[in-house]
């Protein structure tokens, strides 16, 4: 699925709430078995950002943290589209979170203002409670702009203790990896 930057702000979620007893501090974690339909879009999922003048320094080179922002926004879209739960739903209704515990970015070529960066996301590794995303950003011609690797950990709220990925999430992640040819 290719999602333009303007479309990504639509963070709707439809799912049927249920609970299972894995919550901490008396807070229940939502059963994820009846969340939205599995992702059916093209693989890998991509998002396009247009580099704005305000995203750049006076020399016209994108600010370093803006590239990381693009990568994190893509993970947010991936959560909504592939897992079936946006971050708000995951955190406030399901009692889970996915904080980033490691981030690294390689800058390959500086984009200029008004250029489009097309970022794609793949799952490099799925652990018991962690997930490693590999995000590649390219320009319209396919030239590499950046590569980011983000590691997130699934936690139970409010204790911030790691928990294993629920079977439904694990199945969706595995199906996405297979569709991307990454398993």
Give the tens place of pLDDT for each residue, 84-108. Answer: 998 899 999 999 999 999 999 999 9
Report pLDDT digits (tens) over 122-167: 999 999 999 999 999 999 999 999 999 999 999 998 889 999 999 9
C-beta of residue 37 within 8 angstroms of C-beta of residue 84? yes
| Domain boundaries along the sequence of the chain | 2-179
Q: How far is CA 48 from the centre of its chain?
A: 14
Distance CA 120, CA 142 (A): 12
**What pTM, to 2 d.p., does this model score?**
0.80
CA distances 118 to 62, 77, 79, 147, Å, are 15, 14, 18, 12
Using alpha carbons, select from 120, 121, 130, 124 the residue that is nearest to residue 169: 130
- Domain 2-179 carries which CATH code? 3.10.129.10
């Amino acid at each position: 699925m290719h999602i333009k930057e303007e479309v990504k702000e639509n963070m709707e979620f439809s799912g049927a709430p249920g609970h299972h007893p894995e919550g901490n501090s008396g807070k229940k974690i939502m059963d994820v078995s009846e969340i939205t339909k599995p992702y059916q879009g093209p693989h890998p999922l991509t998002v396009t950002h247009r580099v704005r003048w305000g995203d750049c320094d006076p020399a016209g080179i994108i600010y370093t943290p803006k590239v990381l922002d693009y990568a994190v926004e893509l993970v947010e879209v991936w959560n909504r589209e592939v897992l079936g739960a946006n971050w708000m739903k995951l955190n406030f209704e399901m009692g889970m979170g996915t904080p980033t515990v490691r981030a690294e970015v390689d800058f390959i070529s500086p984009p200029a203002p008004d250029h489009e960066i097309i970022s794609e996301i793949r799952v490099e590794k799925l652990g018991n409670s962690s997930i490693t995303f590999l995000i590649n950003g390219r320009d319209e011609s396919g030239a590499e702009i950046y590569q980011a690797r983000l590691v997130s950990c699934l936690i139970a709220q409010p204790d911030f203790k790691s928990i294993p990925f629920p079977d439904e999430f694990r199945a969706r992640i595995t199906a996405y990896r297979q569709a991307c040819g990454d398993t």
